Structure 1
Amino acid sequence: MKEALPDRRFSQGYEWGLLALKSMTGFGAAGQENEDYKVHVEVKAVNQRYLDISFSMPRALNVFENDMRQTIKKFCARGKVDVNIIFHDKREKEATIAVDKSLARAYQTALYELGDFLHLTPPADVCKIALYPDVLRVREESRDVMDSREIVFSALERALEQFAAMRRREGEHTRRDFEPRLDFLAEAVERLSAFEPEIVERYRTHLKNVLGEMLKGQGIDEMRILQETVLYADRISYNEEVVRLKSHIAQFRETIEEEAEPIGRKLDFLIQEINRETNTIGAKANFTQAAKIVVEVKSEVEKMREQVQNIE
């Protein structure tokens, strides 16, 4: 098993841990409590092209939202991140009772009208009228929660640490999945490269046999066959595509092992290039065995593409 890469500080200020490759999906939760407040924070994310942070929390904590966003950006650069904060203020609250006098008067008037209509005595007890909806309203005075900042951010950061750890673990699993696939691609490219001279030789032999049948009893112009073979070899040559494929595979391997920054977009680009070069080789290589290898390569590349979509 390969050793983990050393911890790095990133130029953007990110501090994501040991591995460059991280999943965009993750979950973390943490709680914090003191004599005044109780806080529980959950952070979860799924893959998305850009960073999108959404909060579900009491309105009183909106004052912290901008700083929370900056804290979250230290842990992730891409993905749809949902932050849910349950916040309980344990301090005693001052409360007042508001009386809706106009509504109480309206209830009274309506009751007297109903009493006259039904020939019944309407309620005259003020307590009974007070029980009707919205006559009395309890209002709790909002209190400043700025002194909850420390406990809120402590819970948030602990949740983010769990969240980041899960993303790193999933990223490491993905990296390990890539390694044998990259080995397969590298070996397949070598096999494709080895087939190219054989394809040209097969064509030269085929051309000579066809002309031999057509020109029975006549001499075969070897120079003409050579010229046609050279033209064909130039047309079907995929040596440049092989060279580029090897380079893309090597860059992919280096990126998942060494780069200390978000790498998902770069890997996505490399996957597209690998797929494009493979398609070109498939179009040029008019050879059954080569075509079979191309199909196998495309199958592996498609599996890698699905994995890359979830990499930050």
Structure 2
Amino acid sequence: MTGYGRATKAFGSKTITVELRSLNSKFTDIRMKVPSNFREKEHMLRRFIIGKIERGKADLLIEVKSHDGEEGFGLNVPLFKKYHRELTAIADELGGTKDGIIAAILRIPNVVVSEEDDIDEEEWKQIESTINEAISNFMDFRKAEGAAMEKDLRLRVSNISQMLQEIDPFEKGRVTRLRNRLKQNLEEFMGKENVDENRFEQEVLFYLEKIDITEEKVRLAQHCSFFLEQLDAKKTSKGRKLSFIGQEMGREINTLGAKAYSADIQRIVVQMKDDLEKIKEQIANSV
């Protein structure tokens, strides 16, 4: 499920910014970007974030910026001089220009390094407070998105339940058409006087049993009811169970289509499938 939360706090001459965002994913994957002197807190942060977001591909960004420019970065002077000496010698040897050598050296890894100070516990407490605020904003974002998603899911399930009721008027007509078609084909093939009515009725009953959709209708109605019950449940993590129920609904709808023997019922089944696909898309975005 997607989500976004951001929080900012002032601490002395510094500004602490925490940003948490997530994208849809079946698994939990946390990527973090934190100041180097807080790296030892990464494992604890990872467990904490996983416990909050439950599932999804999340990015956590923590920035600590100083207002007076003391960002904790330094220049590795010996390494800088070594690169400058060697690059200047190469430029002299090849007769090339020396313009831009300094800028190029500064982009080389480890030339400009961060100064890793010990963890300031007071600063870390402020960072923790900012993280909690960002997570709170993140969860509010998810709740708002979840409410809109729930409204749409209820609408789609209601549509399927309504269309299920619309099938009833077409059931009796398809039985009559099947009986007439079988009798007509049999009379054309064998002749009317050679048709055994008793055997014909047995064959009709056999076909009626094959195309009977009562069980599928009952099960689909139960699945729709169970789906709504899960939406009403107080649990926050419902995605996997709703996905499973959606799969079961799909099986019953497909069987209804296979047994339809009616253009009108097939039309309703197609509309059901359209709503079911929208349900699956929404569930894929949920936790």
| Partner Cα distance (2:272, 2:77) in 1 | 77
| Partner Cα distance (1:277, 1:48) in 2 | 27
After TM superposition, the structure 1 stretch with the greater mean CA deviation from structure 2, 215-224 or 141-150, is 215-224
| Greater than 6 Å deviation, 4+ residue runs | 90-99, 137-140
The partner residue of 2:155 within 180, 183, 186 is 180
| Partner Cα distance (1:173, 1:231) in 2 | 47
After TM superposition, the structure 1 stretch with the greater mean CA deviation from structure 2, 182-191 or 70-79, is 70-79
Pairwise CA distance, 1:228: 1.1
| Partner Cα distance (2:267, 2:192) in 1 | 39
After superposition, the Cα gap between the structure-2 partners of 1:99 and 1:28, relative to the gap in structure 1 and judged at 3 Å, is: closer
Pairwise CA distance, 1:263: 1.1
| Partner Cα distance (1:142, 1:54) in 2 | 21
| Partner Cα distance (2:185, 2:23) in 1 | 60
Greater RCO structure (CA 8 Å; 6+ sep)? 1
| Partner Cα distance (1:207, 1:98) in 2 | 92
Instruction: Establish whether residue 45 from structure 1 lines up as the match of residue 31 from structure 2.
Output: no
Instruction: Establish whether residue 152 from structure 1 lines up as the match of residue 127 from structure 2.
Output: yes
Pairwise CA distance, 1:207: 2.7
SS of match in other structure, 1:75: helix
The aligned residue for residue 204 of structure 1 is: 179
| Partner Cα distance (2:208, 2:113) in 1 | 87
SS of match in other structure, 1:218: helix
For 1:244-299, what per-residue CA distance to the aligned partner results, in whole angstroms no more than 9, with x for missing partners?
A: 21121112111112141311112222222212221111111111111111111111
1:60-75 alignment, distance < 5 Å = 60-75=37-52
Q: Which runs of 5+ in 2 are unaligned?
A: 93-104
The aligned residue for residue 25 of structure 1 is: 2
After superposition, the Cα gap between the structure-2 partners of 1:241 and 1:262, relative to the gap in structure 1 and judged at 3 Å, is: same
1:61-100 alignment, distance < 5 Å = 61-88=38-65, 100=78
The aligned residue for residue 190 of structure 1 is: 165
Pairwise CA distance, 1:191: 2.5
1:208-223 alignment, distance < 5 Å = 208-212=183-187, 218=193, 220-223=195-198
Q: Aligned-residue CA RMSD in angstroms?
A: 3.3
Counterpart amino acid of 1:202? R
* 8 Å Cα contact 1:193-1:239 kept in structure 2: no
The aligned residue for residue 161 of structure 1 is: 136
After TM superposition, the structure 1 stretch with the greater mean CA deviation from structure 2, 167-176 or 180-189, is 180-189
TM-score, normalising length from structure 2?
A: 0.79
* 8 Å Cα contact 2:5-2:135 kept in structure 1: yes
Pairwise CA distance, 1:212: 4.9
Counterpart amino acid of 1:270? I
Larger Rg belongs to: 1
| Partner Cα distance (1:215, 1:98) in 2 | 100
Counterpart amino acid of 1:61? F
For 1:127-183, what per-residue CA distance to the aligned partner results, in whole angstroms no more than 9, with x for missing partners?
A: xxxxxx89xx99886422241221011111101111110111011001111222111
Q: Which runs of 5+ in 1 are unaligned?
A: 1-23, 115-132
Counterpart amino acid of 2:59? D
The partner residue of 1:143 within 117, 120, 124 is 117
SS of match in other structure, 1:253: helix
| Partner Cα distance (1:245, 1:256) in 2 | 17
TM-score, normalising length from structure 1?
A: 0.73
Counterpart amino acid of 1:231? F
Instruction: Establish whether residue 300 from structure 1 lines up as the match of residue 275 from structure 2.
Output: yes
Counterpart amino acid of 2:118? D
* 8 Å Cα contact 2:65-2:71 kept in structure 1: no
How many residue pairs get aligned? The number is 263
Counterpart amino acid of 2:28? L
SS of match in other structure, 2:167: helix
| Partner Cα distance (1:93, 1:174) in 2 | 43
Pairwise CA distance, 1:100: 4.3
* 8 Å Cα contact 2:30-2:50 kept in structure 1: no
* 8 Å Cα contact 1:204-1:225 kept in structure 2: no
The aligned residue for residue 6 of structure 1 is: none
The partner residue of 2:219 within 244, 266, 273 is 244
